[in-house]
Each structure stands twice: as C-alpha cells, then as structure tokens.
Amino acid sequence: MTCPIECSKVRFAVQVVREASHLVRQVQQELVTSALTKEDKSPVTVADFAAQALVSKRLLESFPSMGFVGEENADSLRTSEGRDTLIQITHFVRQLEPTATPDLVCEWIDRGAEAATGEFWTLDPVDGTKGFLRGDQYAVALAFIRDGQVRVGALGCPELGSGIKPDKGGPGTLIVARRTSGCFATTLADENAEWAKLSVSSESKITLARMLRSVEKAHTDTSGIGQLVTSLGIAADPVPMDSQAKYAVLAAGGGDINLRLLSPNRLDYREKIWDQASGSICVEEAGGRVSDLDGKPLDFSHGRTLARNRGVLATNGALHQQLLAGLKQIGA
C-alpha cells in the first residue's frame, strides 16, 4: 500500500520508524529474558543506542544537510566499561546497515547532540524504557520540526495492535501525521497493508472522560492528577499506559485525556522535545488539541526542551477548556 500522504519526509519517516521499530523489537526478543534482574537495564540501553545510530545513518543518506536532535550520546560507549555494550549495539545495527563499525556507530549516535536549527529531526529511540523491559507499551518516535512547529511525526508502537489497542507480541502499529494532512495508522508488520485515518473521540462530558495514565508513577504528579479527577468528577476508569503510545491511543479515540503535570519537587522541569513532538502532531492531526498547562501551544523553537511551556495537556479537543479550567482551579 502506498504512503497515505504524498511527501518525501512522510515517506522517510514511515520507512525509518518501521525499520527502527523492528530493530528495537529484535533487541527486546533476544536480550530481555526471564533471567534478567530488575536492576539490569542493558537491553534498553542497546536498543536505544542501536535505533539512534540507525536513524542517524538513514538521515545522513536522505537529508544530509538537516539537523538531528537525539536523546543519546556515545560518551559512555567510548569507555572501557562500555566497550562490550558498543560491540552488542554494532552487531544489531550491522544487520540492517552492513557498513556499521564501532567507530561509525558512535559517530552516528553523536549526531544527535547537534543543536536545534531552523529545521531538524528529533528522535526518541525507545520512549517508555520500563514498558520495553516489562513487555508493555513503548514507542519509537521521530519528528520533523521547522520554525518551532512539528511538521511531520511518526510513532512505531510494537505492542499496539489493530484498533490501536494493547496487543503484546502482536504485529504492532505505525502512526504517521503531517501538518494539515491528517493522521493515519497501519500495521508495523506489513508494509503493503492498508492505512486507516485516525480521529479522536467526540466525548464532551467530563465525567465520562477516559484519562490515559502512566504506569510509572514517577513520570508525573499523581497526587495533582487525583485532585483534578476529584474536582472535575471524572468517574471513568483510567487507561494505564506508558510512552507516547498514549498519544496514538488518544488520536484513535481510545482515550480522551493525556496529562503531564509538573512534580511539586521539580516545578522548573521542562519537557524534552523528543518526548512530545511526534505524539503531539498525531493528536492534533486526528482532530485533538495539545497545549501546555496554561493553554499555550507547544513551542519547539528553544533548543532541546520546551523551555517556554509548563507541562503538557492533550485532549480530544472537546474537553480541553474544561481541563484547563480544572487545572486552574487546583492551582496546577
């Protein structure tokens, strides 16, 4: 099936996110075993670095003059302690990019340390690391940004199935969006499969709103969210899910609210651009709305963080003003 949007950047995003998602899943299948201790995060480290190296290499081939802002850098891999991990990473990358060597892999990874420019790509190679280790939700998230606005975003969600619902071990889902062109989804497993256009829910009753809640409690202010739920009388059961897969579910109408409240202990924290770029455009192009906690649009023109925005609120649009009013009421 042809790409749903006629655009070179969309075609690239679809191809490379599908490729990186398969790579990450392969690392998971080979390295995440029942013998893995809770403290051992090495599989996600290998997956993170391998995916960033691969995407960086593909960007060099297709858009060599464009900037690249990634989550990782290769400093730790160049140490004696990181040598074995680098060899593992190179092994996985080489299966898709035969020219890979340890030195080249480090170079490709380090391209992600570039400064944000007028137009650039940003990547979260494995968003939802604990979900990845548990076999739950995680995502490969790639976005193209120009003049402070996300123009193209793609999410590879290996543990989401048809209907954008959790499906552990299933074929996975690929979502792509382009500004003013809509948001579409297909299966990760079959590049010839049909695409379906996504639309957010039409729910307008706040008491019935389904909130997408992170499984990992450290990711947001759970106490504040509890206050908000009580204040607004939200009675629907929350949808527990980690990573930007929440954005995919919201875009498909499987939830109504995705909220990132600032922790009382980190009120000066600002979101990393790669944690929000891909998912935010998917929701917006599916008919939803994304803003910060003050109702301002997300501004991606200030480097590696959303420096001018406090937190993030994503909704189906119909509920947005009610949520903003509720946040003001609880002093969030």
Residue 38 has pLDDT above 80, yes or no: no
Across the chain, what does the average pLDDT equal?
94
Using the Cα atoms of residue 54, residue 104, residue 67 and residue 74 in order, give the sign of their dihedral.
positive
Q: Please indicate, yes or no, if residue 64 is contained in any of the structural domains.
A: yes
Q: Between these two residues, 322 and 332, which has the higher pLDDT value?
A: 322
Q: Euclidean distance between the first and final Cα of the chain, in Å? A: 45
In whole angstroms, give the CA distance from residue 67 to residue 273.
14
What tokens were used for 41?
């995060």
Q: Please indicate, yes or no, if residue 2 is contained in any of the structural domains.
A: no
Catalytic residues: 48, 129
Q: Please indicate, yes or no, if residue 154 is contained in any of the structural domains.
A: yes
Asked if 32 and 135 count as a contact pair (C-beta separation under 8 A), the reply is yes
Q: Please indicate, yes or no, if residue 1 is contained in any of the structural domains.
A: no
The total number of structural domains in the chain stands at 2
What is the mean pLDDT of the segment spanning 115-125? 93
Identify the weakest region by mean pLDDT among 137-146, 213-222, 250-259: 213-222
SS3 (DSSP) at 19: helix
Domain boundary among 197, 230, 247: 197
Residue 136 has pLDDT above 70, yes or no: yes
Unique residue bearing structure tokens 């009382």: 264
235 and 264 housed in the same domain: yes
* Res 261: pLDDT: 93
Neighbours of 295 (CB within 10 A): 15
- Label residue 114 by pLDDT band (50, 70, 90): confident
Which domain covers residue 287, as residue numbers?
A: 206-329
Pairing of strands 149-157, 173-178: antiparallel
The rounded percent of the chain whose pLDDT value lies above 70 is: 97
228 and 161 housed in the same domain: no
186 and 212 housed in the same domain: no
* Res 116: pLDDT: 86
In whole angstroms, give the CA distance from residue 18 to residue 1.
14
What is the mean pLDDT of the segment spanning 222-240? 92
- Label residue 219 by pLDDT band (50, 70, 90): low
In whole angstroms, give the CA distance from residue 48 to residue 254.
28
Domain boundary among 143, 172, 197: 197
Maximum Cα–Cα distance for the chain, whole Å? 57
Q: Please indicate, yes or no, if residue 283 is contained in any of the structural domains.
A: yes
165 and 222 housed in the same domain: no
69 and 14 housed in the same domain: yes
Unique residue bearing structure tokens 């192009």: 285
* Res 189: pLDDT: 93
What count of residues does the chain have? 332
The secondary structure element, H or E, covering residue 30 is helix 8-31
Contacts of 81 (CB under 8 A, 6+ apart): none
Express each pLDDT in 147-188 by its tens digit: 999 999 999 999 999 888 899 899 999 999 999 999 999 999
- Label residue 15 by pLDDT band (50, 70, 90): very high
What is the mean pLDDT of the segment spanning 97-122? 95
* Res 246: pLDDT: 97
> What CATH number should be reported for the domain holding residue 176?
3.30.540.10
36 and 169 housed in the same domain: yes
The rounded percent of the chain whose pLDDT value lies above 90 is: 86
41 and 128 housed in the same domain: yes
> What CATH number should be reported for the domain holding residue 311?
3.40.190.80
Q: Please indicate, yes or no, if residue 116 is contained in any of the structural domains.
A: yes
179 and 216 housed in the same domain: no
Residue 63 has pLDDT above 90, yes or no: yes
131 and 31 housed in the same domain: yes
What is the mean pLDDT of the segment spanning 121-146? 96
What is the radius of gyration, based on Cα positions, of the chain? 19
Q: Which DSSP letter does residue 28 get? A: H
Residue 263 has pLDDT above 90, yes or no: no
* Res 195: pLDDT: 96
Which whole-number Å values give the CA distances from 289 to 76, 78, 89, 317, 320, in the listed order?
39, 42, 38, 5, 7
Q: Please indicate, yes or no, if residue 98 is contained in any of the structural domains.
A: yes
In whole angstroms, give the CA distance from residue 204 to residue 150.
27
Domain boundary among 197, 222, 249: 197
In whole angstroms, give the CA distance from residue 46 to residue 24.
9
In whole angstroms, give the CA distance from residue 95 to residue 115.
30
Asked if 261 and 313 count as a contact pair (C-beta separation under 8 A), the reply is no
What is the amino acid identity at position 44?
A: V
* Res 127: pLDDT: 96
59 and 184 housed in the same domain: yes
- Label residue 209 by pLDDT band (50, 70, 90): very high
21 and 52 housed in the same domain: yes
* Res 40: pLDDT: 80
Of residues 176, 181, 191, the one with CA closest to residue 143 = 176
Of residues 148, 152, 175, the one with CA closest to residue 281 = 152
* Res 199: pLDDT: 98
Q: Please indicate, yes or no, if residue 3 is contained in any of the structural domains.
A: no
108 and 225 housed in the same domain: no
Asked if 19 and 54 count as a contact pair (C-beta separation under 8 A), the reply is yes
Residue 253 has pLDDT above 80, yes or no: yes
List of long-range contacts for 262-269, beta carbons under 8 Å, 24+ apart: 262/221, 262/293, 262/310, 262/311, 262/332, 263/220, 263/221, 264/221, 264/223, 264/224
Residue 37 has pLDDT above 80, yes or no: no
* Res 2: pLDDT: 73
